[in-house]
């Protein structure tokens, strides 16, 4: 009897262990399925994103999307190489042009001196509020702008401005009109503009 009882008990235990083992297997399998689903979903999302970036997709299966993406990337790389070559060629051409121009460009100060041109300011009063101004000075980048600013500083508004460049010099003539009442002496204006041109 004891043997029979033991056998029944053993069968019961074996059955319980089997159920537990089966539950663990189901739980393990369930976790794996969920992870696999997530992985596939992520892969599908990435493929859709890739498909949206590649303009020419010939077929919607995974292999074709990847193949078309590779072809597109290679095409882009070729375009980048071509554009880089063009930029390099443009740089070389620009450098050669500048070097060619520099052969014929002399220093403005030397050119003025060679031609006997000197910095000069002439100011003539036309009436109470209007002046005629002529300024000759060395041609420099930003020189004209600084001269116009100086004329505004002394309270005059330039009208009918004429600019001529010759032999390294810039010749600016203008009729200017006082912005406010009150006249500044012609000599003061002349000295101020002369000092301005020397600082340019």
Tens of pLDDT along the chain (200 residues) come to: 444 445 554 554 555 555 555 555 556 566 788 888 888 899 888 888 888 888 887 777 888 888 888 999 999 999 999 988 888 888 888 777 767 665 555 677 888 888 889 999 999 998 878 999 999 999 888 899 999 999 988 889 888 899 998 888 999 999 998 887 766 788 999 999 999 998 87
* Nearest in space to 112 (alpha carbons), one of 157, 59, 165, 162: 165
Q: Which CATH class is domain 109-199?
A: alpha beta
| pLDDT score, position 1 | 43
Question: Under 8 Å CB-to-CB from 74, ≥6 apart: which residues?
Answer: none
User: Domain coordinates of the chain in residue numbers?
Assistant: 109-199
| pLDDT score, position 32 | 82
**H-helix or E-strand spanning residue 31:** helix 2-53
């Amino acid at each position: 009897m004891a043997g029979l009882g033991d056998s029944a008990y053993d069968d019961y235990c074996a059955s319980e262990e089997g159920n537990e083992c089966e539950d663990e297997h189901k739980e393990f399998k369930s976790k794996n399925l969920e992870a696999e689903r997530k992985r596939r979903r992520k892969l599908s999302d990435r493929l859709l994103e890739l498909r949206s970036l590649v303009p020419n997709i010939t077929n919607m299966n995974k292999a074709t999307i990847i193949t078309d993406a590779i072809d597109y990337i290679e095409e882009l790389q070729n375009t980048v190489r071509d554009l880089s070559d063009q930029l390099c060629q443009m740089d070389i051409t620009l450098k050669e042009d500048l070097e060619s121009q520099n052969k014929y460009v002399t220093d403005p100060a030397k050119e003025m001196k060679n031609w006997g041109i000197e910095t000069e300011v002439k100011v003539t009063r036309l009436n109470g509020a209007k002046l005629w101004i002529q300024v000759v000075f060395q041609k420099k980048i930003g020189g004209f702008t600084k001269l116009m600013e100086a004329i505004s500083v002394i309270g005059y508004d330039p009208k009918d401005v004429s600019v001529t460049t010759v032999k390294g010099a810039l010749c600016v003539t203008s009729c200017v009109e006082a912005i406010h009442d009150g006249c500044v002496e012609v000599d003061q204006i002349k000295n101020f503009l002369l000092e301005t041109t020397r600082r340019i």
